[in-house]
Chain A
Amino acid sequence: MSDSQTGSGEQPIYEQVYELLQHYNREGRELRPETDLNAELNIDSVAAMDLIMEIEDKYDIDIPINLVADLRTVQDLVTTVRKQQGAA
């Protein structure tokens, strides 16, 4: 895990992303950085699109859909938010 993935600035983002994910977390699983969005939260490609739009609104960023296929875990989401915040 690189510094950019564990930096203290990410903690609030994790908390906020966990909050957004609660809507999809129908089985009430414990959310961790390594939680698998598809396998553990049943977020399929269509639901992922909705989730991405919620995240885009929250952080005032764009997440190109070319990146969505690579977003496997919560950590991938947070890393992408950080990266796109840098780009914005």
Chain B
Amino acid sequence: MDILAKYDSLAERREIMLQAGDNPFGLRMEKVLSPTDALVNGKRTLLVGTNNYLGLTFDPDCIAAGIKALQEQGTGTTGSRIANGSYALHEELEEALGRYLKRDHTIVWPTGYQANLGVIAGLAGPGDTILLDADSHSSIYDGCRLSGATLIRFRHNDPEDLDKRLARLRRQKEAGSPDAQGAVLVIVEGIYSMLGDIAPLEAFVEVKDRHGAFLLVDEAHSLGVMGETGRGVAEAQGVEAQVDFIAGTFSKSLGAIGGFGASNHPYFERLRYCSRPYMFTASASPASIATVTAAVKRIEEEPGLIRKLWQNAEALHGGLSEKGFEIASPVSPVVAVRLPDEKTAVAFWNALLQAGIYVNLAVPPGTPNNICLMRCSVSAAHTLEQIERVVQTFVDVREALKAGAAAGN
């Protein structure tokens, strides 16, 4: 048997998708022109699916910081921080992030994916139990598996279901079950990437405190987005002190690549010599690190970016709702439009691209409850005219597909 034959059915599904037009899961952007525009198939295309929430990818300060680091400190670090040491740049970023997040300890990883792996597998181990939200990102699932802990899913955004499961676990512990004696870690996200729905953190912290569990919140899509100063959903809901650990990424609102974990736990720094995804990977390159430090400064200095982002989010959410589209969640910078099935979603995605709008096609198993989505992510860099164009193009595409279906195409 061929070693890759196990993917035959997935490959067939992909082939069908490709026959309908461009590749939704591997689109080539010939040239990215700005935070909101790129050349795709030789055509200027409006980007509405890049998670570039604050539009900082072309920020002059961030670019200047990156160029300076590249010129002065070279292209790469060529090794891990435990083997080759840290650059002052890594530590400066950790200090800047810690100050911004008001956390005593911050650790940086080369990608957001690795940050979740490193934080989760660093915190929990065999004998511990992790309770994770059922709709968690794959990096959370993978980090959980790497940890060796017992893994229990609870219903998405459902503090009552978490409460029930923590109570069961406590009963097992009190009954002396050897599997229930370790530490308990609860993991949720701030904003969920596919539907853009927000965690009820206030209720979650009440539950986890009552049961003596630790809480990790992944603020990947909410850092720089939620809360008055952009510190995330925990800031927005006033529960930062009760959130034990946060994880996040630099590849969304901060416009770069990398990730972090942060905490006030006095022993958090132990992860630097106990967490394999931290120890056995090369550290992020100087230019990349320097742009993130500059981006953190930009968010601190210009809270107007967050307000602009929300204005745009409200405009897109409101505009599409008004035109009768079904949006998966209340307003957030992720505006996910629900479509009836995969065939319609693929056709819709291709038609939008041909009309010069790039969004994300999201289909099962990447989405919860088998739903199909045109997932838009809004940026502070979008103009209101661009948002209006997106809404109008959605309407036009819907009409065109309806006409095509009526004509039997």
Q: Could you tell me which A residues sit within 8 Å of B by CB distance? A: 44, 46, 49, 52-53, 60-62, 64-66, 87-88
Contact = CB atoms under 8 A, between A and B. Distances in A.
Contact of B151 (A44, A53, A61, A66): A66
B171 A88 contact: yes
Nearest to B145: A66
Contact of B134 (A49, A62, A64): A49
B172 interface: yes
Contact of B172 (A49, A66, A87): A87
Nearest to A88: B168
Contact of A53 (B155, B177, B179, B365): B155
Given A46-B365, A53-B153, A66-B150, 5 more contacts: A49-B134, A53-B155, A62-B152, A65-B151, A87-B179
Contacts of A88: 168, 171-172
A44 B171 CA distance: 32
Contacts of A44: 365
Contact of A49 (B153, B165, B177): B153
A64 B152 contact: yes
Interface of B: 134, 150-153, 155, 165, 168-169, 171-172, 177, 179, 364-365
A64 B151 contact: yes
B120 to A, nearest CB: 14
Contact of B153 (A46, A60, A65): A65
Contacts of B155: 53
B175 to A, nearest CB: 9
A19 B152 CA distance: 24
Nearest to B369: A50
18 contacts: A46-B364, A49-B134, A49-B153, A53-B134, A53-B155, A60-B168, A62-B152, A62-B165, A62-B168, A62-B169, A64-B151, A64-B152, A65-B152, A65-B153, A66-B151, A87-B177, A87-B179, A88-B171
| Best-buried of A61, A62, A66, A87 by chain B (most CB within 10 Å) | A62
B150 A64 contact: yes
A66 B130 CA distance: 11
A60 B161 CA distance: 11
Contacts of B169: 62
Contacts of A65: 151-153
Nearest to B149: A66
B129 to A, nearest CB: 8
Contacts of A87: 172, 177, 179
A39 B329 CA distance: 36
A61 B165 CA distance: 8
A84 to B, nearest CB: 10
Nearest to B370: A46
Contacts of A64: 150-152
A64 B132 CA distance: 11
Across the A-B interface, the 8 shortest Cβ-Cβ residue pairs: A46-B365, A65-B151, A64-B150, A62-B152, A64-B151, A66-B151, A64-B152, A62-B165
